[in-house]
Amino acid sequence: MPVVSPERVRRFTYLGCAIDRASHSLTCRYRSGDDEFVEHAAFGDDVDLGAGGVGAAATLYFVLAGLSYYKTGAAHEVDLGDTSAGPALRALLRAALLDGLGEFAYRNDLSLDDVAIVGGTPSSVAGIAAPRRGPLVPFGGGIDSIVVASSDPRDDRALFVVSAADQRFEAIERPAGLTGLPIVRCTRTIDPGVRRGSSRWFDGHVPVTAMVSALATVAAVGQGRDSVVMSNERSASAPNLEADGRRVNHQWSKSLECEELFRAALAESLSPAPEYASALRDRSELWVAREFSRHPEYLGTFMSCNRAFRQDPAARASTWCGACDKCLFTDLVLGPFVDRKTLEQVFGGAEPIADPASVPALEVLAGVVDNPKPFECVGDPTECATAVVAVAARPDRADQPHLAELAARCRRARPLDELLAPFGPTNSTVLDAARPLV
């Protein structure tokens, strides 16, 4: 039988977000066409959901989390219902629909330009108590969040970790425990209907980092913290490709554009709003890799392979797969700063860049061939080309001629020192305590 493509529904509706102080949880309800969805987010009892401003922060999460369900029907109209939404939150939602779902739309051959946002009620500014505690650092176990957690000297900082209600990811737990920092936890329970899927629904990538940022904001307000410090590098703003005049960026919710819109939405609804910025915004992936290499204690604990985060425990990898673009990129970017023998141990003896068969994928990462970079959280072609040249020049790589041959074709490469210097706009200058990251 021929495959029947899903059809777009007419309306997606935000039905409401309820806060239960007793269970420290949020319950969000949505409707896509005739299908209704319920999502739960629960915090520990160290987060006071009765604190002033929590409702406004929860609304931000409610609006962004809705995209996990909007995608099922890709509705022509989004109805905010009774949701309190000012111009800045509407602008964030509009961008999240068009750009945060850019990869989703591209893969499903959809245009979301026609989506109308209706409904909603006027917003007001919620006053919150003066912050009495330091920053919250969303932590995913990768080299970026490890660098921020390890380099920020403030004693009252804490990690923020999101997991499923019934499981924790060892790839996060191992390095998180090694930091010695307290962990503020949240469990997110996505409606099981979405996980099961339906032939009537669309599926694809959603701006998860923006949703985690909103949950971190709820926790920060509920704990009286002054800021949420992200770990998003400069290259997160670089698109994968351009299609029909629109830039498609897998990492849009880690981009400077999203950060600016998120900051504006916070300022519109909270006073004083917790600071929200990435400490790594003006840093390259190579800078982050160099800083990570100065913390060798994490080399045996961290794992950035996406297969370590699969929802099905039976399909979840406990070691680096060594075959995906994320494994390849991580090995490549650490290569200039970590010796070959150590990286071989990290990857269980099957170091990705050591395999000549990896050259075609390295050509894509480094922009040697005219293919868009993978839909993964990887650096831009200039960073990758510079890393190839730096890796190939190491004495311990002299017997890997495939790297030297590729380096000779990496015309995008720049001097390594250029990419180790801060460059570009950043909102993190107000986070003076974190500036020892230089």
Residue 317 has a pLDDT of 60
**159 CB contacts (<8 Å, ≥6 apart)?**
136, 137, 138, 139, 149, 176, 179, 181, 182, 183, 184
| 84 DSSP 8-state letter | B
Q: What is the pTM of this model?
A: 0.94
Give me the tens of pLDDT residue by residue for the chain, a chain 438 residues long: 344 579 999 999 999 999 999 999 999 999 999 999 999 999 999 999 999 999 999 999 999 999 999 999 999 999 999 999 999 999 999 999 999 999 999 999 999 999 999 999 998 899 888 888 999 999 999 999 999 998 876 778 999 999 987 788 888 999 999 999 999 999 999 999 998 888 899 999 999 999 999 999 999 999 999 999 999 999 999 999 999 889 999 999 999 999 999 999 999 999 999 999 999 999 999 999 999 999 999 998 888 887 756 666 665 666 788 889 999 999 999 999 999 999 999 998 889 999 999 999 999 999 999 999 999 999 999 999 999 999 999 999 999 999 999 999 999 999 999 999 999 999 985 334 444 444
Residue 309 has a pLDDT of 65
Residue 269 has a pLDDT of 96
Cα dihedral: 25, 178, 326, 313 (round 10):
-50
Residue 132 has a pLDDT of 87
For residue 192, report the phi and psi dihedrals to the nearest 5 degrees: -60, -25
Strand partners, 138: 160
For residue 339, report the phi and psi dihedrals to the nearest 5 degrees: -65, 155
Cα–Cα nearest to 419, from 376, 371, 387, 377: 387
Cα 103 from chain centroid (whole Å): 14
Beta strands 183-189; 35-43: pairing state:
antiparallel
Beta strands 183-189; 11-20: pairing state:
unpaired
Please state, in angstroms and rounded to a whole number, the distance separating the CA atoms of residues 330 and 112: 33
Residue 436 has a pLDDT of 43
Residue 322 has a pLDDT of 85
**42 CB contacts (<8 Å, ≥6 apart)?**
23, 24, 25, 26, 165, 186, 187, 189
Residue 311 has a pLDDT of 62
Cα 276 from chain centroid (whole Å): 14
Please state, in angstroms and rounded to a whole number, the distance separating the CA atoms of residues 324 and 310: 14
Cα–Cα nearest to 47, from 69, 68, 19, 71: 19
Write out the H or E segment, with its range, that includes residue 126. Answer: strand 126-127
